[in-house]
């Protein structure tokens, strides 16, 4: 891992101050603790315990960065739910399809788009069959149920969790 935002500050501290930073998880941010451990390593005065803490922090921060990169590839599920609550799946279907496409899985894109476009005639059918005073309530409940089912179904069927993605990446590297 390269220099972080605390590296310059840690370079000015004494060895004992750096060890105090590394060994104070409740006082200092993980990134600061890592910078302190790296500075001790650069000086050649790192102890076995500090080296272990530094390694664990570096691994954890790299994992968080990888997870953030993974999440940045997708349109947020919460954002899709927000859109879906106020708009039809004609709007959210393409967003879900983009997420599937960005993951590299082409299977499922056309299915999601097809299902999202079937929704509109289904709503019109419900409106026609339901009495006028009841249709708004029924339509609202149907819409919310459909949105929850549709988004969750697509997410679990076609999009991986970070752990699944990581296992796929590790499997393809061997």
What is the reported pLDDT for 3? 65
Asked whether the beta carbons of 56 and 47 are under 8 A apart, the reply is: no
What is the reported pLDDT for 151? 84
Residues 63-89 pLDDT 10s = 888 888 888 888 888 888 777 777 666
CA–CA gap between residue 139 and residue 147 (Å, rounded): 12
What is the reported pLDDT for 88? 66
User: Please, what is the average pLDDT of the chain?
Assistant: 82
3-state SS, residue 119:
helix
What is the reported pLDDT for 2? 56
Asked whether the beta carbons of 109 and 96 are under 8 A apart, the reply is: no
Enter the pTM of the model.
0.58
- Output the CA angle 35-32-8, nearest 5 degrees: 55
54 or 84: which leads in pLDDT: 54
What is the reported pLDDT for 131? 72
Q: Enumerate the domain spans of the chain.
A: 7-71, 73-173
What value does the mean pLDDT take over residues 6-17?
89
Asked whether the beta carbons of 34 and 54 are under 8 A apart, the reply is: yes
Asked whether the beta carbons of 38 and 54 are under 8 A apart, the reply is: yes
What value does the mean pLDDT take over residues 7-21?
89
What value does the mean pLDDT take over residues 47-69?
88
Residues 103-135 pLDDT 10s = 777 788 888 888 888 877 877 777 777 777 776
């Amino acid at each position: 891992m390269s220099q972080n935002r605390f590296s310059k500050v840690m370079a000015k501290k004494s060895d004992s101050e750096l060890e105090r930073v590394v060994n104070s998880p409740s006082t200092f941010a993980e990134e600061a603790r890592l910078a302190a451990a790296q500075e001790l390593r650069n000086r050649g005065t790192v102890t076995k315990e500090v080296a272990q803490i530094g390694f664990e922090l570096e691994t954890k921060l790299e994992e968080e960065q990888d997870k953030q990169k993974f999440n940045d590839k997708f349109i947020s599920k919460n954002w899709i739910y927000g859109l879906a609550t106020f708009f039809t799946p004609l709007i959210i279907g393409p967003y879900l399809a983009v997420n599937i496409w960005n993951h590299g899985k082409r299977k499922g894109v056309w299915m999601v788009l097809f299902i999202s476009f079937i929704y509109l005639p289904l709503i019109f059918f419900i409106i026609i069959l339901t009495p006028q005073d009841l249709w708004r309530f029924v339509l609202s409940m149907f819409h919310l149920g459909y949105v929850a089912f549709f988004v969750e179904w697509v997410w679990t069927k076609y999009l991986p969790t970070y752990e699944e993605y990581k296992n796929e990446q590790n499997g393809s590297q061997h």
